[in-house]
């Protein structure tokens, strides 16, 4: 039995902890990849280690600069800044696989020379036939090794015909065991793997080979990634062993599933970090929420900033189970952050979501006041577009039968007439006076017409905002100002 102990005791690590996040620029940064990045970042921060960004763009057909920039922007927006990477450099670069293509053939040849790999001249058609035979026999497919014992003469003859070989790793049968930082002890029967390709016939490396060479040369000590990579781990360990290189400690995170327990996809809602940000999720809230997908704080307090999370982070206590992405909980948490955020900072973040309106209509303090009085019920900044609308655009009373019914009520007319007569003498710079006078108005109509206080306020609110719900009425009156309030009251009375 061959064993890689891969213990979870970070206190016995001689080398400085080095972790990496290695996304492929074939799409925008997915929330699952963001969680992997976060857990790597937290582990590095907790252990005083280094956090590396590497772009795995060996699939040149699917990779794009647009997606690469999205990865950079999304990670930076989350505050997951890296110590080494394509844009900041480092002593183990380059940090883009496409710039490292000259490195991999050297190590592939080294494995051939040591007897751990060999050239394979099988065409795709040959391999497809082998797959088909395995299917017919209902057995797992393994490469037949038909090229393992080709003579030099046979190889030269094939090369003379213009056939370019791939390179396969020769897998010896044994039980391979390693202790996963998250999953615990995992065992693999390598006889089921078969000889796998490490270099393609076009000279580019396969994923399992490139990632080992890169992690080895970049001195990565811990590989923390999704459990969909577990099947790759035994192949990678075999390559490490063949090269005589230190084997990093592996930790595989459970998958993130949708509320219906299916694979998280766009049909459930946003899945890319940039999409969440466009919808008005605060990056602090998103990061906090993602940290709780598979991990729990020791004190049970869920609302924490990244420094607090890092101080409490324990990788061996990450759940090995899959996590459910609960959009409702994310919305709740985002609302908590919106309500606690400094109003000036929140206004800066809110402006892009309301810039369809004439923001110059108000001063900066007034704009902050608008955000302050409308933020309490919202869970997304995108909701502000609707919630602040009446501060910028006069209400259209005919849009809602409910509003028309309130305004056409004879009692509402009496409320608005009296309010219009009195509001002309209000001191719009005196919050307490407005509050007290509205209180007097409610009392007056309760005594004279038997109106409930909310009925009095409904009449005023619908006249000023075209709605039955909204920001604090005193604040709304203050922000709109005397001229606008009088104008809207007159328009409402015409209804």
- Residue 50, phi then psi, degrees to nearest 5: -120, 145
Q: Tell me, letter by letter, the H, E, C secondary structure of the chain.
A: CEEECCCCCHHHCCCCCEEEECCCCCCCCEHHHHHHHHHHHHHHHHHCCEEEECECCCCCCCCCHHHHHHHHHHHHHCCCCCCEECCCECCCCCCEHHHCCCCHHHHHHHHHHCCCEEEECCCHHHHHHHHHHHHHHCCCCCCCCCCCCCCHHHHHHHHHCCCCCEEEECCCCCEEEEEECCCEEEEEEHHHCCCEEEECCCCCECHHHHHHHHHHHCCCCEEEEEHHHHHHHHHHHHHHHHHCCCCCEEEEECCEECCCCCECCHHHCCCEHHHHHHHCCCHHHHHHHHHCCCCCCCCCCCCCCHHHHHHHCCHHHCCCCCEECCHHHHHHHHHHHHHHCCHHHHHHHHHHHHCCCCHHHCCHHHHHHHHHHHCCCCCCHHHHHHHCHHHHCCCCHHHCHHHHHHHHCHHHHHHHHHHHHHHCCCCCCCHHHHHHHHHHHHHHHHHHCCCCHHHHHHHHHHHHHCCCCCCCHHHHHHHHHHHHHHHHHHHHHHC
Residues 6+ positions from 336 with CB-CB distance below 8 Å: 285, 303
**CATH class for domain 1-85+211-340?**
alpha beta
Please, are residues 86 and 96 in contact by the beta-carbon 8 Å criterion? yes
At residue 264 the predicted structure's pLDDT band, cuts being 50, 70 and 90, is: confident
At residue 3 the predicted structure's pLDDT band, cuts being 50, 70 and 90, is: very low
pLDDT at 6 over 70: no
pLDDT at 495: 84
Please, are residues 327 and 298 in contact by the beta-carbon 8 Å criterion? no
Please, are residues 57 and 68 in contact by the beta-carbon 8 Å criterion? yes
Return the axis-axis angle of helices 65-77 and 31-47, rounded to nearest 10°: 50
pLDDT at 269 over 80: no
CA distances from 460 to 393, 407, 444, 469, 476 (A): 17, 9, 14, 11, 11
At residue 310 the predicted structure's pLDDT band, cuts being 50, 70 and 90, is: very high
Task: Say how many Å lie between the first and final Cα of the chain, rounded.
Answer: 87
CA distance 36 to 44: 12
pTM of the predicted structure, to 2 decimals: 0.90
Residue 104's nearest CA partner among 159, 167, 155, 26 is 167
pLDDT at 188 over 50: yes
pLDDT at 5: 40
pLDDT at 124: 93
pLDDT at 267: 78
The CATH label, of 2.60.370.10, 3.40.50.620, 3.40.50.720, 1.10.10.350, for the domain at 343-494 is 1.10.10.350
CB count within 10 Å of CB 12 equals 7
pLDDT digits (tens, 9 = 90+) for 332-367: 999 999 999 999 999 999 999 999 999 999 999 999
pLDDT at 7 over 70: no
Per-domain boundaries in the chain = 1-85+211-340, 343-494
pLDDT at 240: 98
pLDDT digits (tens, 9 = 90+) for 418-444: 999 999 999 999 999 999 999 999 999
pLDDT digits (tens, 9 = 90+) for 68-116: 999 999 999 999 999 999 999 999 999 999 999 999 999 999 999 999 9
pLDDT at 293: 97
């Amino acid at each position: 039995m061959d064993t890689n102990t891969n213990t979870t005791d970070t206190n016995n690590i001689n080398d400085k902890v080095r972790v990496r996040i290695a996304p492929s620029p074939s799409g925008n940064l997915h929330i699952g990849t963001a969680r992997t990045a976060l857990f790597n970042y937290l582990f590095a921060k907790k252990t005083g280690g280094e956090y590396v960004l590497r772009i795995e763009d060996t699939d040149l057909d699917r990779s794009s600069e647009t997606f690469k920039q999205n990865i950079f922007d999304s990670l930076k927006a989350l505050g997951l800044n890296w110590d080494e990477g394509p844009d900041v450099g480092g002593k183990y670069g380059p940090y883009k696989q496409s710039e490292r293509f000259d490195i991999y053939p050297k190590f592939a040849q080294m494995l051939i020379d040591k007897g751990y790999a060999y050239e394979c001249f099988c065409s795709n058609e040959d391999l497809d036939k082998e797959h088909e035979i395995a299917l017919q026999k209902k057995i797992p497919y393994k490469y037949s090794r038909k090229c393992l014992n080709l003579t030099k003469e046979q190889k030269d003859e094939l090369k003379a015909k213009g056939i370019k070989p791939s390179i396969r790793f020769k897998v010896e049968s044994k039980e391979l065991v390693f202790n996963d930082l998250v999953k615990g002890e995992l065992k693999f029967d390598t006889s089921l793997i078969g000889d796998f390709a490490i270099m393609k016939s076009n000279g580019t490396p396969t994923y399992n080979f490139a990632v080992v060479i890169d992690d080895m040369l970049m001195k990565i000590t811990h590989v923390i990634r999704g459990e969909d990579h577990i099947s790759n781990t035994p192949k990678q360990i075999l390559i490490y062993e063949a090269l005589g290189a230190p084997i990093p400690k592996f930790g595989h995170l459970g998958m993130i599933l949708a509320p219906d327990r299916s694979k998280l996809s766009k049909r459930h809602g946003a899945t890319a970090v940039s999409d969440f940000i466009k919808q008005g999720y605060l990056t602090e809230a998103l990061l906090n929420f993602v940290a709780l997908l598979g991990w729990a704080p020791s004190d049970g307090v869920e609302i924490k900033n990244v420094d607090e999370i890092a101080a409490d982070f324990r990788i061996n206590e990450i759940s090995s189970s899959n996590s459910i992405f609960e959009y409702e909980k994310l919305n709740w948490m985002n609302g908590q952050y919106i309500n606690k955020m400094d109003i000036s900072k929140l206004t800066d973040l809110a402006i892009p979501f309301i810039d369809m309106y004439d923001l110059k209509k108000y001063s900066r303090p007034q704009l902050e006041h608008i955000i302050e009085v409308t933020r309490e019920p919202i869970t997304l900044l995108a909701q502000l577009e609707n919630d602040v609308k009446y501060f910028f655009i006069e209400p259209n009373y005919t849009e809602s039968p409910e509003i028309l019914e309130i305004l056409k009520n004879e009692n509402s007319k009496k409320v608005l007439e009296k309010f219009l007569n009195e509001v002309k003498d209000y001191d719009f710079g005196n919050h307490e006076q407005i509050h007290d006078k509205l209180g007097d108005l409610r009392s007056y109509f309760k005594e004279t017409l038997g109106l409930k206080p909310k009925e009095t306020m409904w009449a005023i609110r619908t006249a000023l905002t075209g709605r039955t719900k909204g920001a604090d009425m005193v604040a709304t009156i203050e922000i709109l100002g005397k001229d606008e309030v009088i104008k809207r009251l007159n328009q409402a009375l015409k209804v």
